[in-house]
Amino acid sequence: MKRGARIGIFAMLLGIATALVIMTSMAFLRSEPITVDYTTAQPKGQPVHLTLQTVSAIGFGDNPNWVSYLAESPQGKWVHSTLWDLPAHTTIDVTLYQYDSGGPLRNQERGVVQGVKPTLNGKLFSLIDSYKGNGVGHTFSIPRLGINVPLAGVNGNAKNFCNAAPCPLSDAHNTIKFSFTTPGPGQYRWQCFVPCGLGYLYGNGGPMSTLGYMGGFLKVVA
């Protein structure tokens, strides 16, 4: 083969390889959960009903064993996403079904409610002593809004313990309800502060550091 032809083939192969690397990187960078839209179908000025669940294992996808949050879309479908479009300056009525077990917190401060007045199975609470009962499974926290809600765990040995999402209400769960008001437009990080990424360094890897599982964003829009 002539030198020119060889250079040509080499250049072509190099081009293909470069394109593949760029495409793969872009796909990786772009990969994030879909955003659930709570604005379009929302009557203006009315409270948004945000229904969530926390599960011990998502049960499908790339990481079926990871703990996760899910959100119910306005159309009533459970979506594996932690990104939510919400209207600004609006009351958000949260109903959170907690299906995961819990345990003692490493940082007891996370057992203290901040910024909202939540109920646990219909009873107001301001603190969960994680050394009692089934401890704390996760938290729902929005640091910039000063909100922290500890989520009481369920009995991990319950016969109807849920092992894969979405969990039905017939499975063991705690119901936590609270309301908050969205601020002006912006992106507000929310996350769980229990290091619940079992098997990862200090429990803070895996589902704790991947969008779509134990944290996401309130995308507040005008």
CA distance 82 to 77: 14
CA distance 101 to 56: 7
Query: Is residue 55 part of the contact set for Cu ion (CB under 5 A)?
Result: no
Please report how close the Cβ of residue 14 comes to Cu ion at its closest, in angstroms: 45
Please report how close the Cβ of residue 100 comes to Cu ion at its closest, in angstroms: 8
| Nearest-CB residue for Cu ion | 192
- Of 79 and 214, the one with the shorter C-beta distance to Cu ion is 214
- Of 214 and 218, the one with the shorter C-beta distance to Cu ion is 214
- Of 91 and 108, the one with the shorter C-beta distance to Cu ion is 108
Task: Please identify, among the stretches 57-65, 110-118, 137-145, 172-180, the one whose residues bind Cu ion according to the rule CB under 5 A.
Answer: 137-145
- Of 54 and 90, the one with the shorter C-beta distance to Cu ion is 54
CA distance 105 to 50: 26
Residue 149 amino acid letter: V
Query: Is residue 96 part of the contact set for Cu ion (CB under 5 A)?
Result: no
Is 134 within 8 Å of 102 (Cβ atoms)? yes
Query: Is residue 214 part of the contact set for Cu ion (CB under 5 A)?
Result: yes
- Of 87 and 215, the one with the shorter C-beta distance to Cu ion is 215
Residues 6+ apart with CB under 8 A from 181: 89, 90, 91, 92
Instruction: Give the footprint of Cu ion on residues 162-201 (CB under 5 A).
Output: 192, 194, 196
CA distance 189 to 143: 7
Residue by residue, what is the 3-state secondary structure of 159-171? CCCCCCCCCCCCC
- Of 39 and 53, the one with the shorter C-beta distance to Cu ion is 53
Please report how close the Cβ of residue 29 comes to Cu ion at its closest, in angstroms: 25
Pick one of 83, 98, 130, 138: the residue that binds Cu ion (CB under 5 A).
138
Give the neighbor-by-neighbor strand order of the sheet with 35-37. Answer: 35-37, 83-87, 215-221, 186-191, 136-142, 147-152
Q: Which residues bind Cu ion (CB under 5 A)?
A: 138, 192, 194, 196, 214
